[in-house]
Structure 1
């Protein structure tokens, strides 16, 4: 797998994970805690967990291809757990990978 392919997979995973997390936090959790409807949390929560595992794999593949420092990879992985952070990290990673630089430092 080339760096370009790994970057594309990472970008897709970051966006899908980010959207899933936003749906969980902005839609499903208010439905559960304000309106007493927990069904969507159980569906979206499981989906986000599965998608986050794919995000982890794609991030680690890209990190290996680009020879990132382990701390850089961990910081990008954490971005998948904070609403909106995966979008910011994806833009930063994309620009830096294309420029041949590390994603964080």
Structure 2
């Protein structure tokens, strides 16, 4: 007999199968992961645009068009949505608080949101058998 509290083991990979994950939870995590991925990419793109704008304005002393001031404002609002998507995914995937904070901070370091999105996507796909 096998113990139902212990996940079964796949003989070919010897990784535990996520049989303990309810299909409804798997679906909720999958949709939260999709939202997180989109927000991570949008946040990263606006952060790069903001850095380019600031370098042009303050380092290269270039004249910046009036519309460029809105890049910072939009990035701020997009970052708030990114943090909400991190919290959503973190709560559904039952991440520890430190992992949620580190993932949220990835939205304020240029290019880090792309790295973190890829890392968290692989982790969640592996843990919840999402493909």
Q: Do they fold alike, i.e. is TM over 0.5? A: yes
Which of 68, 81, 87 is the aligned partner of 2:114? 87
1:61-91, Cα deviation, whole Å (9 max, x unpaired): 0000000000000000010000000000000
Deviation for aligned residue 1:40: 4.7
Root-mean-square deviation over aligned CA pairs? 1.6
Q: Which has the larger radius of gyration?
A: 2
Partner residue, 2:94: 67
Higher fraction of helix: 1
* Count of residues in Structure 1 that have an aligned counterpart in Structure 2: 100
Structure 2: tracts of 5 or more residues without a match? 1-26
Q: Which moved more, 1:45-54 or 1:28-37?
A: 28-37
1:22-45, Cα deviation, whole Å (9 max, x unpaired): 01102x112321214273552100
1:1-20, Cα deviation, whole Å (9 max, x unpaired): 70000000000000000000
TM-score between both structures, scaled by the size of structure 2:
0.72
TM-score between both structures, scaled by the size of structure 1:
0.88
2:50 maps to 1:31: no
The SS at the match of 1:100 is helix
Partner residue, 1:77: 104
2:25 maps to 1:4: no
Residues 38 and 60 of structure 1: is their aligned pair in 2 closer, same or farther, counting only changes over 3 Å?
A: same
